[in-house]
Amino acid sequence: MKREIKIFSAILTVCFMVSCSSGGGDDGPTTPPPVPNTVPTAVSQLVYPSADLLCIDNNITFEWSAASDADGDPLSYDVVIAEDRNFTNIAEQRTVNTTSVTILMQQGVAYYWRVTTSDDQGGESDPSSTFAFYTAGSGVSNYAPFTAALNAPNNEGTVDAGTVNLSWTGGDSNTGDTLTYDLYFGETTDPSSIEMAITADNYDLTATTGLTYYWRVDTIDDSGVKTIGQTWMFTVN
């Protein structure tokens, strides 16, 4: 009988020790939450080709300034070259780990290029600014102007009712050319012309609450060569 009591007592002691070791609410060390990834900075400067440049050699070395990453992650650069300013017609696209890349482009074509930075954690910066350039064509003396670049209001943005200043920037690789602009504006996706041969690069209009407007700027050089612009839109509060 005493032996059975001793065995039972030993069992109780073991159970108590197990209970004390596992029931204190201490689940051991916890894993710290992952540190959020910091998105790398955007490329601040496109070095070459510079804005509105006429490139005599169509084997072009694209160069840009280095971006940075607060986490110290390795960076890569996505270089996109298109035949339109809104990058729907992509001509070339390269991803590199350096701040330059050489690409053979077609001759006699207007191009638009920009660079986006990525880190190895999936973070991606905003695109850099967009620069236009021409590649020289055999026997060509005058090149069409570039499509106008939008300044304000933001495409697909909203503005307050009243006077709205439409603002854009023209460009031409023939630096001596004087540019004029045909302005189209209206409530349809194919707006009507409202002012032709504008010499300024902005125009004031009155916008009405609740309406959506579409507008376009065509650029003409002093030889009469015209480049059709992109259609932009904005909504009025």
pLDDT of res. 39: 95
How far apart CA 217 and CA 150 sit, in angstroms, is 9
* Angstrom distance (rounded) from CA 209 to CA 161: 5
* pLDDT tens-digit readout, 130-150: 999 999 988 777 899 999 999
Do 128 and 86 have their domain in common?
A: yes
Which domain covers residue 117, as residue numbers?
46-135
16 burial class (0-12, 13-18, 19+ CB within 10 angstroms)?
exposed
pLDDT in tens, 189-202: 999 999 999 999 99
DSSP string over 188-216:
SSSPEEEEEEE-SSEEEEEE-TT-EEEEE
Could you count the other beta carbons within 10 Å of the beta carbon of residue 231? 15
Q: Which helix (H) or strand (E) holds 103?
A: strand 100-104
Residue at 161 is within a domain: yes
Q: pLDDT tens digits for 7-54? A: 445 444 444 444 444 445 556 677 888 889 999 999 999 999 999 999
Please report, for the domain that includes residue 72, its CATH number: 2.60.40.10
**What's the structural domain count of the chain?**
2
Of residues 105, 110, 108, 133, the one with CA closest to residue 47: 133
